[in-house]
Homo-oligomer: A and B are copies of this chain.
Amino acid sequence: MLTTQEANQAEENIRFGRVLLFSEGSERFGGNRTLMRELLGGKGAGLAEMTAAGVNVPPGMTILTSQCREYYKDGGKLPAALLDEAKEQLKRIEERLDRKLGCTQKPLLLSVRSGAKFSMPGMMDTILNLGMNDDTVEAMAVLTGNARFAWDSYRRFIQMYSNVVLDLSKDRFEDILYDKKESLRVTNDTDLTAANLKDLVSEYKAFVKRERKIDFPQNTDDQLKGAIEAVFKSWNNNRAIYYRNLSKIDHNIGTAVTVQAMVFGNFDNDSATGVCFTRNPSTGERVLYGEYLINAQGEDVVAGIRTPEKISDMAKTMPVVYKELEETALRLEKHYKDMQDIEFTIQQGELFLLQTRTGKRTAAAAIKVAVDMAAEGIINKQTALTRVEPVQLNQLLLPSFDPQAKEAARREGRLLATGLNASPGAAIGHIIFEPDEAEKVAVEHSKKVILVRVETCPDDIHGIVPARGVVTSRGGMTSHAAVVARGMGKPCVAGCEDFRVDLDREEVHVKDQVLRKGDVISIDGSTGEIFSGAIATHEPKLSPEFQTLLTWADETRLLRVRTNADTPEDAQRARDFGAEGIGLCRTEHMFMSQDRLPAVQEMIMAGSVTEREHALAKLLPMQREDFIGIFEAMNELPVTIRLLDPPLHEFLPKYEDLIEEVAILKTKGVTGEELRSRELLLDKVHQLKESNPMMGLRGCRLGLMYPEINRMQVQAIFEAAIAVQKKGLTVYPEIMIPLIGHVNELKLARIMLEATAKEVMEREGVTIEYKFGTMIEIPRACVTANEIAEYAEFFSFGTNDLTQMTFGYSRDDAEGKFLQKYLEGITWNNQTTKVLQHNPFEVLDQSGVGKLMKLAVEYGLQTRPDLKLGICGEHGGEPSSIAFAHQLGLSYVSCSPYRVPLARLAAAQATISVEEKDK
């Protein structure tokens, strides 16, 4: 009996086959692009689609991802029928090209590449020039009239195949090549003659024989089989797994294999290879952007071994082909309705496209491309809105270097060098050379790190992730470092040849200076400049396209976006970023400031209500001033003010410190006032001490035990509101009572505080429009929201605390003690299982916390259909949580000022996504 899974697979094999020609893919899937990507992989789907769109693509075939899954299910065995089907399809390619794999007259050479549903650049293996052997190399020499090219291709093939299939280090072959050049006293690979290369092939083959005890495979069918299997295997190499973890890609989807007729960019000087974006991936400007290398193979560009030419130069060197490339780019953009990242090869003046995919881009580019394409009529506004990842926006809102500070640094001679502006942004950090060390220093010691390498490779990812920025001395705009850094929104200066990096000594020689590990540098990824020392940064500005996009977002979204701000400055900044009010103004931050702490402590140490009121009277004018500033900044917008929330001991010295102090004083024999005052303080702190302060006397409980504190705050709020209103501005204060768990808490607090509010308004003869509401941050509040809504005009979900209580996690303790492990996974019997997919304090836990929120919304609206609902936890600035807030039908999210643009966009995307679903 077949299992269901096996039966599905069998059916799939019959419906779609195991191997499809590029020319039959698009038709077979009836244009279902998702299914194409799933079964042909991104690369295979792209080639099939390009072929169907009439683009000049070298013919080839794709082995479906289903085969990779079958391969792993069978414990690493190629599916039985796969090779037969592949050979049959290959025959059709051979017929079409009038060449044949392994043929000693007209040999066909193949490239074998990986291609999963999601792009994993450079993570898996590739083999070029497959089909080369001792016989076909001669045939190629004859056929092309270029013996040197033939032998060079053969030696490249041996090197690559041996590395990928036979697991021999690339470096060992490079050493042999180096020795060869040394012995011949030549510098460049191109200086080697056909004869030299033929010798090199012999040496390579001898090396393989020595190391692996086998002759280098001469049978081309065996070569093909080995290559296919190697690609399947590379799906599960360490860097691929790391990348998938990082990019949250399912480990079970497998890769497809594309087998394609080779074309040769290294055929002659009318040949070339290149990669290019249809627009500038850094700025979004509408111009071909990329590099090419004359007389080279694609790997040379990607690996950054030779520094390539800018694509714009091609307009001069190869004007006809360049024009064709431009036309092709346009055709592809119109077809795919997005910016493309293409690989091409020119063989003897003929342009072949090898690959196209959606181009990765910086946030700035994403915005400009989306807005431009909408303006060009390629896409509509809604699609434009979905083209920018909200989290990417963060990088645009990071500070950049202050131009004057940079100018000064330049004058002071601190500009060390300028490389390629590979990924924009400003970063300051300590130079670290080794990825392992970068990870250690950045993660464990929390230091800012700039990773400096000759070039980076996929194995270095763990050092790039935690670094503030990356510098390489080799490689172009499409080198590994550049691509990865752009994807992560991390500043990168690539190919800075003036930076002579000595990895062994951990030094950089630049001009006449030496930089060492730990030295601080500042890099500007937008200009490619590298400075010694730190340079002052300054506030970001939104580009016109960014503004446009956000305006479109505002037209689309239903969720309002507010900000969490405790000062007039933050309030103003958020407003500049488009905040539509304050969703959370935490008053305790006002209590913490150094000039107020004495009055706050006096209030806490008070022995009676009268004493406490005396201390509170000192705080009143200060609080009033705070609120005046905030109300002014938020003229005409609502301001939600949360009354004092934290336990009072947070405003006093730490218990342990006092115990230690008193013990020392006593042991020293100190007596009198000095000891007495510390002991008094210790007593008070002891009295306030709690075993679980998170769940103790705080929030509304504090206000119910000491109503005079909240009354002072409400008095300050209303006096401030009246003062601002008298200036002709409009205020909408919303008083928020935290930590409500039982309706009676809110009922009581509201009665008391509204009395104060009315008292102030009557005294001043001014009426203020205001609301009273509560944070929903206690599970009990969620399940009794129908009762609570009787006294609350708004609910603001405090998702931080709600997550803590719902999970039973104290965030501080959890993150220090077990949460990391829960996220990394727990290993048992060699299998690692993640307990949690996301940190619930970053990404809202929809199935747990979210379920409680859903109940709260339902119950709350039952009682009060016009209840205002919002989120004011950190989740208010996280896209998936914003989407959830939209689904719940909340009125607004509130987030930190810098997250406001992100939230505006994410809210729009949430609206679009729900609309899509409703279609």
Q: Using a CB–CB distance below 8 Å, which chain A residues touch chain B?
A: 655-656, 659-660, 663-664, 667-668, 690-697, 701, 704-705, 707, 739, 741-742, 744-745, 747-748, 751-752, 777-780, 783-784, 787, 801, 804-810, 812-814, 817-818, 821-822, 826, 828, 833-836, 845, 847-849, 851-852
Q: Which residues of B contact A667 (CB under 8 A)?
A: 663-664, 667-668
Q: Which residues of B contact A847 (CB under 8 A)?
A: 783-784, 787
Q: Are A697 and B813 in contact (CB under 8 A)?
A: yes
Q: Which of B659, B693, B704, B806 contacts A821 (CB 8 A)?
A: B704
Nearest chain B CB to A787's CB is how many angstroms away?
A: 8
Q: Are A806 and B835 in contact (CB under 8 A)?
A: no
Q: Which of B695, B745, B810, B833 contacts A748 (CB 8 A)?
A: B833
Nearest chain B CB to A240's CB is how many angstroms away?
A: 24
Q: Are A810 and B695 in contact (CB under 8 A)?
A: yes
Q: Are A818 and B655 in contact (CB under 8 A)?
A: no
Cα A104 to Cα B580 in complex, Å, equals 86
Nearest chain B CB to A704's CB is how many angstroms away?
A: 6
Q: Which of B655, B741, B828, B835 contacts A808 (CB 8 A)?
A: B741
Q: Which residues of B contact A818 (CB under 8 A)?
A: 697, 701, 704-705
| CB within 8 Å for A835 and B805 given contacts A691-B694, A695-B813, A784-B851 | no
Q: Are A808 and B663 in contact (CB under 8 A)?
A: no
Copies of this chain, tallied across the complex: 2
Q: Are A693 and B691 in contact (CB under 8 A)?
A: yes
Nearest to A704 among chain B residues (CB) is: B826
A interface secondary structure, majority: helix
| CB within 8 Å for A835 and B691 given contacts A780-B848, A814-B696, A852-B783 | no
Nearest chain B CB to A386's CB is how many angstroms away?
A: 31
Q: Are B696 and A779 in contact (CB under 8 A)?
A: no
Q: Are A696 and B852 in contact (CB under 8 A)?
A: no
Q: Which residues of B contact A752 (CB under 8 A)?
A: 828
Q: Are A810 and B655 in contact (CB under 8 A)?
A: no
Nearest chain B CB to A6's CB is how many angstroms away?
A: 24
Cα A833 to Cα B791 in complex, Å, equals 15
Q: Are B695 and A694 in contact (CB under 8 A)?
A: yes
Cα A754 to Cα B572 in complex, Å, equals 59
Nearest chain B CB to A103's CB is how many angstroms away?
A: 55
Cα A707 to Cα B810 in complex, Å, equals 22
Q: Are B848 and A783 in contact (CB under 8 A)?
A: yes
Nearest chain B CB to A398's CB is how many angstroms away?
A: 31
Q: Which residues of B contact A805 (CB under 8 A)?
A: 779, 805-806, 808
Shortest Cβ-Cβ A-B pairs, 6 listed:
A692-B810, A696-B813, A695-B810, A780-B848, A779-B779, A667-B667
Q: Which of A692, A801, A807, A817 has the most CB of B within 10 A?
A: A692
Q: Which residues of B contact A804 (CB under 8 A)?
A: 695
Nearest chain B CB to A62's CB is how many angstroms away?
A: 36
Q: Which of B693, B741, B742, B748 contacts A828 (CB 8 A)?
A: B748
Nearest chain B CB to A638's CB is how many angstroms away?
A: 27
Q: Which residues of B contact A663 (CB under 8 A)?
A: 659-660, 663-664, 667
Q: Are A808 and B779 in contact (CB under 8 A)?
A: yes
| CB within 8 Å for A808 and B695 given contacts A690-B817, A780-B848, A821-B705 | yes
Q: Are B779 and A835 in contact (CB under 8 A)?
A: no
Q: Are B748 and A826 in contact (CB under 8 A)?
A: yes
Q: Which of B704, B836, B852 contacts A742 (CB 8 A)?
A: B836
| CB within 8 Å for A836 and B705 given contacts A667-B664, A778-B807, A817-B690 | no
Q: Are A833 and B704 in contact (CB under 8 A)?
A: no
Q: Are B835 and A742 in contact (CB under 8 A)?
A: yes
Nearest to A741 among chain B residues (CB) is: B807
Nearest to A817 among chain B residues (CB) is: B697
Nearest to A782 among chain B residues (CB) is: B779
| CB within 8 Å for A812 and B691 given contacts A664-B663, A705-B821, A851-B784 | yes
20 A-B pairs, CB-CB below 8 angstroms? A656-B656, A660-B660, A664-B664, A690-B817, A691-B812, A692-B695, A693-B813, A694-B808, A695-B810, A705-B817, A705-B821, A741-B806, A741-B807, A741-B808, A741-B848, A742-B836, A747-B833, A778-B807, A783-B847, A805-B805
